Chain A
Amino acid sequence: MSRELPSHDAALVALLLAAHPHGLGGVSLRGMPSPERDDWLANFRGLLPDGSPWIKVPVNVSEDRLLGGLDFAATVSAKKPVFATGILEAADEGVIVLTMAERIPDAAASIIGEAMDRRTLLVERDGVTRECRVHYTVVALDEGIDDDERVAAGLAERIAFNLKVRDLAGFQVQLDEWSDADVQEARDRLSSVEVPDAIIEQFSQTAAAFGLASLRGDLFMLNTARTLAAFDGEPAVTEAHAATAARLILPQRATRMPAEAEPPPPPETEPQEEQESTPGTKDIPDDILVDAVLAALPPDLLDELAESLPRSQQGSTGGRGGPATRSRLRGRPVGVEATRQVSGARLNVLATLKAAAPWQSIRRRGERCGALALRPSDLHITRYQDRVESTTIFVVDASGSQAAQRLAEVKGAIELLLNDCYVRRDQVALIAFRKDAAEVLLEPTRALARVKRSLSALPGGGGTPLASGLDAARQLADSVSRQGRTAAIVLMTDGRANIARDTSPGAEKAEHDAMNAAKLLRATGLRSLLVDTSRRPKPRAQRLADAMGAGYIALPNADASRISGTVQRNLAS
């Protein structure tokens, strides 16, 4: 095979993934449905061996469909438990296509990702134990628009490639001359392709330089390069293959720019063997890989990374640009209930069978029924507790009028509130305003580790752009509600504003703007609470609370734990 490999990323990815599905995991296609997206899917499918399973998974897929469960009808007629195969098992050696992948709940995403890792599906459900081998490729159709709508991090991490639907145009021409036979040929050659040690070292250096948090990225580069070499018919991976691999894998996983790559914080116990002869201690890897990656980084990402906080070098987002955490939205099963009104509810097969089982011999006496004798009184359904998750957005005044002491108390209060979040499955977000703008310090999260980092980085001092703070809160609350959660806002301020929306100083205009912003907030109908943190509460903050439609509490001398207690009581009602 001496022909040129496609230069179009989308065409290349289709070939690579078809040839080495287990080593590369899958691809996410981000963007709205379009004819190009359909074409890509069809082309990719065409490259797979004939008869490979191709299963579409809807966003509301239930755990028992993914993993399998008791088949009610079959169990009744066979009078013994019959297991219905789940989607993942059926997709063995094939592809699962996740529609609206950005909205797949974390629990389902974890199940899908876990089985990819283990290549084994382990099911313990409804009295059935089952272990089977599964190998599937994931195509995640990510229709998220905003940065915070992304495929769950645990799954994204196990998928090698990311394509954008808007970049698909023109891929098809380049795939025309490639067939599933070519892919098969490359696949057969994979195991014989050598990867020189020098190339492996380059991959590791590049990965470390770009701050890749997970080693899965390193391995994806290796597997991509090897597959490229297999297509080229080369016996070993070349520099050119390595550069292409780095370009395809790294950009979406980078968490920092190589220029600022200092060695990460030293481990807590220094390794005994000092200065072992490590060939790879230099941080800037061979330019060829770095250049390849830099060229592929989108310009806005470059800016973002360049400014990015050096503090979170360990990759706080797990290798992805977006916020890592989204929580589970489905109701949790809270029990089983006997009922005759089954329509619309989910029949609990196991409970129903258990209710019927003891009576079988008696019931059979009177009738000649071959199957299981069921009575309406046997029917049980699963009850779910539908829980709407809430996100509490803290808007913190970090300006000079908030003395440093107060700010420390507020920080403490937020952290105490968060301690309860695991139990309540709530999330917390943090916005701070000071000097001339408001900043979202923390996207909604439940992770204490991240909150700690961003709180410690929160500086105080400067003017009070109250209006900007309120606007930012409204926008964030908006995006939270779009994800199907309820938002509540806790504003911690003394109510004094002196920076207007257009960043001009002056109390009068600033307060006018703040009142306007407060009214806009009220129009959204969100639950909110204003915590007056000034030493001597003034009617000013009360007025602002009224304009916002917010509850008002004055906490002139409260410490961290009192603030958190009061906020909880006030928002719970």
Chain B
Amino acid sequence: MFPFSAIVGQDDMKLGLMIAAVDQSVGGVLLFGDRGTGKSTAIRALASLLPKMRAVTVCPYACDLDSDHCEASHCGVDRSKRRDKLMPVPVVDLPLGVTEDRVVGALDIERALVHGEKAFEPGLLARANRGFLYIDEVNLLEDHIVDLLLDVAASGENLVEREGLSVRHPAKFVLVGSGNPEEGELRPQLLDRFGLAVDVSTPSTVAERVEVMKRRDAYESDHAAFQRKWSRQDGKLRRQIVKARELLVSIKVNDSVLEKAAEICIALETDGSRGELTLLRAARAYAALQGADEVSVSHLKDVAHLALGHRLRRNPLDESSAGVRVERVLDEVFSE
């Protein structure tokens, strides 16, 4: 795995993923942009960066020991006998060509054939619980799979009613998608499920290009040595995430910051209050990453384009990019 900290530039992309790692409630992250810019690399690298979590040993949904979800009906374990252990946070790939039964889970065909038992075989949504669900080429995903995801991503719960099975299980995950806008737009409903959206583009300086090539080449020629070289940097980021999570609960948000957030959203005419909520959560996670004890106006400013860029109403006659429009409004709001 290419180390997260070895990715050259792409600060927005890294920040977006770090924020989601600190506070899952921010919602998903969408990486949209040029090909060959390391979008998939970054997400897969994130997997090895995340601190481990405690989960019930035999639970197919990797529930927390204290959670109510893991009742006997789910995994057949008596509550008093449950044990937990440290395990890696799941980062589950939704591969292209995935079939519906593997996404939501279905009748366990082997047990049905061999023993004539009706048992539920959990799918990818179950595996992604408490972790990340990654969809590459999210704009090419089949519509009927998108429909399944939309509901689960919003409710945090997977409801299976098929083949005589009736199962309900927790499926809370951070949706991470990547794609190339040249190949097609994202359905607005799906776009809305992503808390943050990052515009990823090819590095603009030759120096960055050189660095990308050098690091990639070093990685290709000796994976292990390269990973060793960067493990200290990755460790630093991991500690930063752990510390930020601890800080998160105690971080303060002043009324003046709340007002500014509302002003920004009103000026940008974003629909509903989700934009505002995401903006605040992202700013709080960002402040935590910086080790601050309260959210400042500059934190808001730094994450506004990530949280709001994809929520703007389309204006056919305004040619400027979403990032530029957010920037413009920020200037207005903060100049007063």
A158 CB to closest chain B CB, in angstroms? Answer: 9
Q: Is A416 an interface residue (CB 8 A)?
A: yes
Q: Is B217 an interface residue (CB 8 A)?
A: yes
Distance between Cα atoms of A156 and B147 in the complex (Å): 30
Please, which residue of chain B has its CB at the minimum distance from the CB of A267? B204
Best-surrounded residue of B123, B181, B186, B202 (most CB of chain A within 10 A): B202
Q: Is B84 an interface residue (CB 8 A)?
A: no
B317 CB to closest chain A CB, in angstroms? Answer: 6
Q: Is A2 an interface residue (CB 8 A)?
A: no
Distance between Cα atoms of A401 and B35 in the complex (Å): 42
Q: Is A204 an interface residue (CB 8 A)?
A: yes
Decide if B207 touches A278 in the complex (CB within 8 Å).
yes
Decide if B209 touches A423 in the complex (CB within 8 Å).
no
Q: Is A464 an interface residue (CB 8 A)?
A: no
Distance between Cα atoms of A195 and B217 in the complex (Å): 10
Decide if A205 touches B206 in the complex (CB within 8 Å).
yes
Task: From B202, B204, B220, give the contact of A263 (CB < 8 A).
Answer: B204
Distance between Cα atoms of A417 and B212 in the complex (Å): 40
**From residue 102 to 154 of chain A, which have CB atoms closer than 8 A to chain B?**
106-107, 110-111, 114, 117-118, 122-129, 153-154
> Given that A63-B97, A353-B109 are contacting pairs, would A110 and B185 also be in contact in the complex, using a CB cutoff of 8 Å?
no
B187 CB to closest chain A CB, in angstroms? Answer: 6
B212 CB to closest chain A CB, in angstroms? Answer: 5
Contact indicator per residue, chain A 208-224, by CB within 8 Å of chain B (1) or not (0): 10001111111100100
Contact indicator per residue, chain A 278-316, by CB within 8 Å of chain B (1) or not (0): 111100000000000000000000000000000000111
Task: From B97, B121, B184, give the contact of A125 (CB < 8 A).
Answer: B97
Q: Is A200 an interface residue (CB 8 A)?
A: yes
Decide if A447 touches B182 in the complex (CB within 8 Å).
yes
Decide if A416 touches B204 in the complex (CB within 8 Å).
no
**Which residues in B have their C-beta under 8 angstroms from that of A268?**
305, 323-324, 327
**Which residues in B have their C-beta under 8 angstroms from that of A219?**
213, 216-217
**From residue 299 to 336 of chain A, which have CB atoms closer than 8 A to chain B?**
314-319, 324-325, 327-328, 332-334
> Given that A123-B95, A195-B217, A372-B113 are contacting pairs, would A218 and B212 also be in contact in the complex, using a CB cutoff of 8 Å?
yes
Distance between Cα atoms of A328 and B141 in the complex (Å): 11
Q: Is B239 an interface residue (CB 8 A)?
A: no
Tell me which of A178-186, A355-363, A511-519, A528-536 binds B.
Answer: A355-363
> Given that A214-B37, A268-B305, A415-B316 are contacting pairs, would A350 and B109 also be in contact in the complex, using a CB cutoff of 8 Å?
yes
Decide if A422 touches B205 in the complex (CB within 8 Å).
no
Please, which residue of chain A has its CB at the minimum distance from the CB of B162? A354
Distance between Cα atoms of A327 and B203 in the complex (Å): 28
Decide if A207 touches B209 in the complex (CB within 8 Å).
yes
Q: Is A572 an interface residue (CB 8 A)?
A: no
Q: Is B331 an interface residue (CB 8 A)?
A: no
Distance between Cα atoms of A450 and B181 in the complex (Å): 9
Decide if B314 touches A415 in the complex (CB within 8 Å).
yes
Q: Is B319 an interface residue (CB 8 A)?
A: yes
B174 CB to closest chain A CB, in angstroms? Answer: 19
Please, which residue of chain A has its CB at the minimum distance from the CB of B199? A268
Distance between Cα atoms of A419 and B187 in the complex (Å): 9
Decide if A280 touches B207 in the complex (CB within 8 Å).
yes
Q: Is A201 an interface residue (CB 8 A)?
A: yes
**Which residues in B have their C-beta under 8 angstroms from that of A81?**
109-110, 113
Decide if B98 touches A124 in the complex (CB within 8 Å).
yes
Distance between Cα atoms of A327 and B139 in the complex (Å): 12
> Given that A66-B97, A107-B96, A111-B97 are contacting pairs, would A80 and B207 also be in contact in the complex, using a CB cutoff of 8 Å?
no
**From residue 75 to 110 of chain B, which have CB atoms closer than 8 A to chain A?**
93-99, 101-103, 106-110
Q: Is A157 an interface residue (CB 8 A)?
A: yes
Q: Is B255 an interface residue (CB 8 A)?
A: no
**Which residues in B have their C-beta under 8 angstroms from that of A195?**
217
B216 CB to closest chain A CB, in angstroms? Answer: 6
**Which residues in A have their C-beta under 8 angstroms from that of B137?**
110, 114, 154
Contact indicator per residue, chain B 287-331, by CB within 8 Å of chain A (1) or not (0): 000000000000000000100000000101101000110010000
B1 CB to closest chain A CB, in angstroms? Answer: 11
Q: Is B240 an interface residue (CB 8 A)?
A: no
Please, which residue of chain A has its CB at the minimum distance from the CB of B212? A215
> Given that A357-B113, A408-B317 are contacting pairs, would A127 and B220 also be in contact in the complex, using a CB cutoff of 8 Å?
no
Distance between Cα atoms of A154 and B184 in the complex (Å): 13
Distance between Cα atoms of A314 and B180 in the complex (Å): 13
Decide if A106 touches B163 in the complex (CB within 8 Å).
no
**Which residues in A have their C-beta under 8 angstroms from that of B324?**
268
Q: Is A560 an interface residue (CB 8 A)?
A: yes
> Given that A111-B96, A216-B35 are contacting pairs, would A204 and B213 also be in contact in the complex, using a CB cutoff of 8 Å?
yes
Distance between Cα atoms of A244 and B127 in the complex (Å): 48
> Given that A126-B99, A358-B112, A415-B314 are contacting pairs, would A216 and B36 also be in contact in the complex, using a CB cutoff of 8 Å?
yes
**From residue 408 to 436 of chain A, which have CB atoms closer than 8 A to chain B?**
408, 411-412, 415-416, 419, 421-423
Q: Is B68 an interface residue (CB 8 A)?
A: no
Q: Is A161 an interface residue (CB 8 A)?
A: no
A517 CB to closest chain B CB, in angstroms? Answer: 30
Decide if B34 touches A213 in the complex (CB within 8 Å).
yes
Please, which residue of chain B has its CB at the minimum distance from the CB of A226? B217
Distance between Cα atoms of A214 and B202 in the complex (Å): 6
Decide if B182 touches A316 in the complex (CB within 8 Å).
yes
Decide if A422 touches B186 in the complex (CB within 8 Å).
yes
Distance between Cα atoms of A195 and B221 in the complex (Å): 12
Q: Is B143 an interface residue (CB 8 A)?
A: yes
A509 CB to closest chain B CB, in angstroms? Answer: 36
Decide if A318 touches B116 in the complex (CB within 8 Å).
no
**From residue 165 to 213 of chain A, which have CB atoms closer than 8 A to chain B?**
191, 195, 197, 200-201, 203-205, 207-208, 212-213
Decide if B181 touches A447 in the complex (CB within 8 Å).
yes
Task: From B102, B180, B204, give the contact of A264 (CB < 8 A).
Answer: B204
Please, which residue of chain A has its CB at the minimum distance from the CB of B139? A422
B55 CB to closest chain A CB, in angstroms? Answer: 19
Decide if A127 touches B106 in the complex (CB within 8 Å).
yes
**Which residues in A have their C-beta under 8 angstroms from that of B35?**
153-154, 157, 213-214, 216, 318-319
Decide if A126 touches B101 in the complex (CB within 8 Å).
yes
Distance between Cα atoms of A81 and B3 in the complex (Å): 37
> Given that A124-B124, A216-B35 are contacting pairs, would A447 and B113 also be in contact in the complex, using a CB cutoff of 8 Å?
no
Distance between Cα atoms of A40 and B230 in the complex (Å): 43
Q: Is B227 an interface residue (CB 8 A)?
A: no
**Which residues in B have their C-beta under 8 angstroms from that of A95?**
none
A: residues with CB less than 8 A from B are 23, 63, 66-67, 75, 79-81, 106-107, 110-111, 114, 117-118, 122-129, 153-154, 157, 191, 195, 197, 200-201, 203-205, 207-208, 212-219, 222, 263-268, 276, 278-281, 314-319, 324-325, 327-328, 332-334, 350, 353-354, 357-358, 360-361, 372, 408, 411-412, 415-416, 419, 421-423, 445-450, 452, 456, 560
List 5 tightest A-B contacts by C-beta distance, closest first: A214-B36, A280-B206, A357-B112, A204-B209, A124-B102
B: residues with CB less than 8 A from A are 34-38, 40, 93-99, 101-103, 106-110, 112-114, 116, 118, 121, 123-124, 136-137, 139-140, 142-144, 163, 180-187, 201-207, 209-210, 212-214, 216-217, 220-221, 305, 314, 316-317, 319, 323-324, 327
Q: List 26 A-B contacts (CB under 8 A).
A: A79-B113, A81-B113, A107-B140, A124-B94, A127-B109, A191-B221, A195-B217, A201-B206, A212-B202, A214-B36, A215-B36, A215-B213, A216-B35, A222-B213, A317-B182, A319-B35, A325-B183, A328-B140, A353-B112, A354-B107, A354-B109, A354-B112, A354-B163, A423-B187, A445-B182, A456-B319
| 4 additional A-B residue pairs with CB within 8 Å, beyond A127-B101, A219-B217, A447-B185 | A215-B209, A266-B204, A357-B112, A411-B317
